[in-house]
């Protein structure tokens, strides 16, 4: 960290990115650069660009291309300065640019209008003494965990919206998994379910798999019919040897904003009801926390988790997410998810 007049050390101090007790120097550097990429991308929203300029390749407003291009530009510059970080940023640069853009967009940090993207209005929400923030002026002193900004204590900012909860600020599930499952089952309208060859049934023996036959010994579970992109999801049960189904609301399981993964909330609720949802595993290392999340996490919660964490692997992105958090940010994540009904196990 001593090269170039301690450049990375200065950045780390600015954003309070502290090295873990057992963390390697290179991984710490990679975390610092990752957070800087996000800050510089947000800063690019204030660049002076012509609104009618478009990228000739795709006809997209240049502000979006410029946003992603700023990430690529800064990444290339820092990899030239610190070649030892190449192994941590082994993914195609376009992948990292697209992922960062999606995280900011789907957590409400930026808005995409017809001709441009803009920063969110200043907002904050508090949980257990920690204040999560978005849309604040970049000159405001903030702590950073991953790409997300926060304060380890309450800090007023004139004009910022104070949300009543973190869940409301980021569009997270506000009820519990248990309450969701109970409501779906109690409101089910049962009728004979004529399942064709495409029918699949949630497995209760192999996590996050689907079987061709209904599960045995389960009162109510989930089935899906149709092909990817046009699936219908049902609660199902077997009564007197007959398969009965109740279609789940389309908005609940087919939100187009969620990349075809919005059904995961119902799946998690079902597995939690039968005590089959695995715990989220985590390990504390000084001032940082490494966590391994349940596969196929619901999109709203997953993007929020990714906003406030550094991916353990910057070379690939998968549904089985592993992230590194600042201790303060993790305490908020853990508290919110425990309220929803997820369990945590410290290793």
- Write the DSSP assignment of 153-204 as a string of letters: S----TT-EE-S-HHHHHT---S-HHHHHHHHHHT---EE----TT-EEE-S
The length of the chain is: 347
Bridge partners (DSSP) listed for residue 323: 291, 311
Bridge partners (DSSP) listed for residue 61: 54
The pLDDT assigned to 2 comes to 63
Q: Any alpha helices (H) in the chain, and if so which ranges?
A: 3-15, 25-43, 62-81, 93-106, 166-170, 177-186, 250-253, 264-273, 299-307, 327-340
Q: Which residues does 217 contact at the CB level (< 8 Å), separation at least 6?
A: none
d(CA 293, CA 205): 19
Q: The whole model's pTM is what?
A: 0.92
d(CA 223, CA 192): 13
- Nearest CA to 33 out of 83, 68, 107, 67 is that of 83
The pLDDT assigned to 66 comes to 87
The pLDDT assigned to 93 comes to 86
Look at residue 127 and tell me whether its pLDDT is greater than 80.
yes
Look at residue 48 and tell me whether its pLDDT is greater than 90.
no
Look at residue 227 and tell me whether its pLDDT is greater than 90.
no
Residues 231 and 225: beta-carbon distance below 8 Å: yes
Read off the tokens for 89: 């940023």
- Nearest CA to 203 out of 226, 223, 177, 185 is that of 223
The pLDDT assigned to 58 comes to 43
Give whichever of 4-8, 47-51, 115-119, 279-283 has the largest mean pLDDT: 279-283
Q: What is the pLDDT of residues 168-193, one digit of tens each?
A: 999 999 899 999 999 999 999 999 99
The pLDDT assigned to 72 comes to 94
223 vs 112, more confident: 223
Read off the tokens for 47: 């660049």
Q: Which residues does 156 contact at the CB level (< 8 Å), separation at least 6?
A: none
Q: What is the pLDDT of residues 258-294, one digit of tens each?
A: 665 778 999 999 999 999 999 999 999 999 999 999 8
């Amino acid at each position: 960290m001593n090269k170039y007049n301690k450049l990375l050390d200065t950045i780390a101090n600015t954003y309070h990115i502290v090295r873990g007790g057992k963390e390697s120097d290179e991984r710490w550097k990679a975390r610092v650069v990752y957070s800087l990429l996000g800050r510089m991308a947000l800063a690019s929203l204030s660049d002076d660009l012509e609104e009618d300029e478009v990228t000739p390749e795709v006809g997209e407003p240049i502000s979006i291309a410029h946003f992603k291009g700023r990430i690529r530009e800064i990444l290339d510059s820092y990899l030239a300065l610190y070649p030892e970080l190449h192994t941590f940023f082994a993914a195609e640069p376009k992948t990292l640019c697209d992922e960062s853009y999606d995280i900011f967009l789907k957590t409400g940090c930026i808005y995409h209008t017809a001709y441009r993207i803009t920063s969110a209005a200043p907002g904050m929400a508090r949980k257990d003494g920690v204040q999560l923030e978005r849309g604040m002026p970049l000159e405001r002193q903030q702590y950073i965990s991953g790409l997300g900004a926060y304060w380890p204590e309450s800090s007023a900012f004139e004009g910022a919206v104070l949300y009543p909860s973190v869940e409301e600020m980021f569009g997270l599930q506000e009820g519990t998994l248990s309450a969701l499952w109970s409501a779906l089952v109690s409101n089910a309208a049962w009728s004979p379910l004529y399942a064709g060859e495409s029918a699949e049934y949630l497995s209760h023996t192999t996590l996050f798999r689907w079987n061709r036959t209904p599960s045995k010994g389960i009162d109510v579970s989930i089935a899906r019919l149709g092909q990817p992109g046009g699936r219908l999801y049902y609660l199902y049960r077997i009564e007197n040897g007959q398969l009965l189904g109740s279609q789940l609301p389309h908005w609940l399981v087919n939100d187009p904003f969620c990349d075809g993964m919005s059904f995961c909330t119902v799946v998690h609720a079902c597995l939690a009801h039968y005590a089959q949802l695995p715990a989220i595993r985590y390990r504390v290392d000084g001032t940082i926390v490494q966590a391994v999340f349940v596969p196929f996490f619901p999109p709203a919660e997953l993007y929020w988790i990714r906003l406030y964490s550094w991916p353990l692997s910057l070379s690939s992105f998968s549904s089985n997410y592993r992230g590194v958090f600042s201790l303060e940010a993790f305490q908020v994540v853990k508290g919110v998810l425990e309220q929803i009904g997820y369990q945590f196990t410290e290793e």
